Structure 1
């Protein structure tokens, strides 16, 4: 277990998805941007702010049933969120409204009917608390298919592996992950245990190489190899490079430890890939894939978009723009809009959902 100054964590990047948006998607995003701009302009201090109704039915209506009994989807635009959240509301009132709306979104999507929906939706790094929250949620349910809505910048390797194994152990027939935004580093490791990963244009996975004090564990041995190459290429500089190494107080034992940390991450990735293999991996394909995720990418912030994920894991595992993804994206879009409105209303909070528990955290 990583701890202290050597936590194997990585702050995730905020890089955009690499896949270009379709024209219809771009038009929709442009419309949302226009709405948010209008909200920004309308959110200057006003005298009637306190008169806004707490009843969300006064905004754009609740979900209703069509003639055949199906639940019709409600439009939850930025304007809707602006009407939903008042400046004078308490955190508890805001959370209650948000949780209710998310529950409605889930009920509006038939594709989610066969799943227990669980969240790991957090801007903080994955740690043991996340694993405990997921376990508490799953252990209280009967065995069923599991959908984990995953948004995370990464975190500690061990809890991420444990969460994936928990979902595998406690699932019914399927363990499915929806990635509406980023699931980087340790969150990508977690995803490797899923039977299906549902992604879209703005989804991103990332390399799972562990980090130590903000640097890739592989960087330390790579730096030593680079110095050795320079010494061989420029023999006249060998003495200077040797003095540099002596002055750097390089800990050779630490170098070996860092390499073993990387190897450990690769082993975790391989175990998760093997957990869903239906045949013996006599060709070593899974081992090469685990190594690829851990060692191939030169930048920890590298964006593994839906197309690259499909090339690596296959279209039978990674699904693009599926109905499950659309539901996860709608939830993410709603939560993002709520965070923007809360900021405009003076609530300096971010939304976290762990297991089934909704929380507002200061930032």
Structure 2
């Protein structure tokens, strides 16, 4: 099957969305499917305000349409609500082509926290974007229920996976100079991740933050005793997990938390708040995580849990199953979908220079 994936989140960005798509694309290729990606690297772009490592692509619907026409995929998936996703959505709707979308990021909460934008306004934009999709892929039933309350009821479940070969208990963990227990957070270092709630805790042990983002410099200055490791990936990241005793997840806004599965696969019990995301991934497994409104209490509880049980829980999740579910959720286009579009698109490209001459 040939699939077109349109995503504003792609390399060199480092975050859970990019990691998810990179792994899923690889899994689909291993299963014999062809995935053609349309990403910010295909276009000129501008840095995102406040997030210079994220590029906003300058792409028109026509430019996206040319690429989709050249691919002529059997299914189109629009992964993000950014400039590329918006342009792809507009072109598909104009040509009567069905597509699916996915909901990765809680923009209503993030924009409220960062810029004070009322959630109802952001949900209005999100609703308009996703209601046009044949299906919206979401990670958990809790997230599906939340979106339904805001008028987005065309959702289907798409859980994530973990590579238990890379993320596993190991003997080559990073050497961390400091007293135990070692408490680790992995993820973007941004205000919406609520990392201060973890770092301000007055408790014995060593706190570690693995990741980068716009809040890192301020947090490093405010908490000089915390180990800041920066971005880590693959085996290097796995070694940081292996050096810790407990994983602390202070976010109250994540839709899932891929790092939760990576931590569990590494044999780390989890301490988190009882909120959507952690509740969906961990709520039915109290033997591998402690969810509590007091983060100190959650950490104490998690430290008493079994590393072996944590890993056993993670082994139930696989990226192969994630890729299979993604395929099942796609909307397959009819064989005739591109028959009328391709000639028209080629004619438009031929006629464009003539039009420019006529209008000067």
Larger Rg over CA atoms: 1
Same fold (TM over 0.5): no
Structure number with higher relative contact order (C-alpha < 8 Å, ≥ 6 residues apart): 1
